Structure 1
Amino acid sequence: MTGSHPYLVVIATISTLVSPLSCQNVSSGETGTKLNGSAVDFDSFREHFHRMYEVNGEEFNRRHLNFQNATKRHAYLNSLSTAPQSAKYGINRFSDLSQKEFRGLYLRASADRAPLFSGLKTEGLPAKFDWRDKAVVAPVQNQQACGSCWAFSVVGAMQSVHAIGGSPLAQLSVQQVLDCSFQNHGCNGGSPFRALTWLKQTRVKLVPQSEYSYKAETGICHFFSQSHAGVAVKNFTAHDFSGQEEAMMGQLVEHGPLAAIVDAVSWQDYLGGIIQHHCSSQWSNHAVLVVGYNTTGDIPYWIVQNSWGTTWGNEGYVYIKIGGNVCGIADSVAAVFL
Structure 2
Amino acid sequence: MTNLSKSSLGVIVFVLICFGVLLRVNWINSQVENLEEKFQNYLQKFHKNYSNINEYQRRLVIFRNALEEIEVLNSKRKSNRSAIYGLTQYSDFTREEFLQMTLTNYKSLVQNAEIQKPNQPFVFRRKRVPVGKLPLKVDWRNKTFVSDVKSQRSCGACWAFSVIAVVESMNCLKHNKSEILSIQQMIDCSKYGNRGCLGGDMCTLLQWLTDNNVAIELEEHYPLQLQNEQCKMNRNGSGVVVDHYICRSFADNEEMILKLLATHGPIAVSINALTWQNYIGGVIQFHCSSSLKYMNHAVQLVGYDLSDEIPHYIAKNSWGKTFGNNGYLYIAVGGNLCGLANEVVALSVV
Normalising by the residue count of structure 1, what TM-score does the alignment of the two structures yield? 0.84
Counterpart for residue 327 of structure 1 = 338
Counterpart for residue 225 of structure 1 = 235
Q: How far apart, CA to CA, are the structure 2 residues paired with 1:236 and 1:69? A: 43
> Per-residue CA shift, 1:28-62, capped at 9, x if unaligned?
xxxxxxxxx99962111111111121152x32122
Q: Secondary structure at the match of 2:215?
A: coil
- The 5 A counterparts of 1:114-263 are 114-115=112-113, 122-123=129-130, 124-182=133-191, 183-226=193-236, 228-263=237-272
Q: How far apart, CA to CA, are the structure 2 residues paired with 1:121 and 1:83? A: 33
Q: Secondary structure at the match of 1:145?
A: coil
> Per-residue CA shift, 1:120-155, capped at 9, x if unaligned?
973221010111111110010011111111110010
- The 5 A counterparts of 1:299-314 are 299-314=310-325
Q: How far apart, CA to CA, are the structure 2 residues paired with 1:160 and 1:39? A: 45
Are the equivalent residues in 1 in contact too, given 2:128–2:263 (CA < 8 A)? no
Q: How far apart, CA to CA, are the structure 2 residues paired with 1:171 and 1:65? A: 41
> Per-residue CA shift, 1:150-175, capped at 9, x if unaligned?
11001001110111102311110000
Bigger-Rg structure (1/2):
2
Letter in 1 for 2:190: S
Mapped pair 1:47 → 2:44? yes
Counterpart for residue 328 of structure 2 = 317
Q: 1:336 aligns with which of 331, 339, 347?
A: 347
Normalising by the residue count of structure 2, what TM-score does the alignment of the two structures yield? 0.81
Q: Secondary structure at the match of 1:103?
A: helix
> Per-residue CA shift, 1:57-101, capped at 9, x if unaligned?
x32122222212211211121121231100001111001111101
Structure 1 residues 128 and 38: alpha-carbon distance in aligned structure 2, compared to 1, 3 A threshold:
farther
Are the equivalent residues in 2 in contact too, given 1:325–1:331 (CA < 8 A)? yes
Number of residues of Structure 1 aligned to a counterpart in Structure 2: 299
Q: Secondary structure at the match of 2:177?
A: coil
What is the aligned-residue identity percentage? 37
Letter in 1 for 2:187: L
Are the equivalent residues in 1 in contact too, given 2:246–2:347 (CA < 8 A)? yes
Q: How far apart, CA to CA, are the structure 2 residues paired with 1:39 and 1:299? A: 37
Task: Select between 235-244 and 292-301 the one with higher mean Cα deviation.
Answer: 235-244
Q: Unmatched 5+ residue regions in structure 2? A: 1-33, 115-121
Relative contact order higher in (CA < 8 Å, ≥ 6 apart): 1
Letter in 2 for 1:209: E
Letter in 1 for 2:55: E
Q: How far apart, CA to CA, are the structure 2 residues paired with 1:264 and 1:208? A: 29
Q: How far apart, CA to CA, are the structure 1 residues paired with 2:225 and 2:330? A: 28
Are the equivalent residues in 2 in contact too, given 1:106–1:145 (CA < 8 A)? yes
Q: Secondary structure at the match of 1:233?
A: strand
Are the equivalent residues in 2 in contact too, given 1:110–1:286 (CA < 8 A)? no
Q: How far apart, CA to CA, are the structure 2 residues paired with 1:96 and 1:245? A: 35
Structure 1 residues 261 and 98: alpha-carbon distance in aligned structure 2, compared to 1, 3 A threshold:
same
Q: How far apart, CA to CA, are the structure 1 residues paired with 2:97 and 2:85? A: 18
Are the equivalent residues in 2 in contact too, given 1:263–1:281 (CA < 8 A)? yes
Q: 1:280 aligns with which of 275, 289, 301?
A: 289
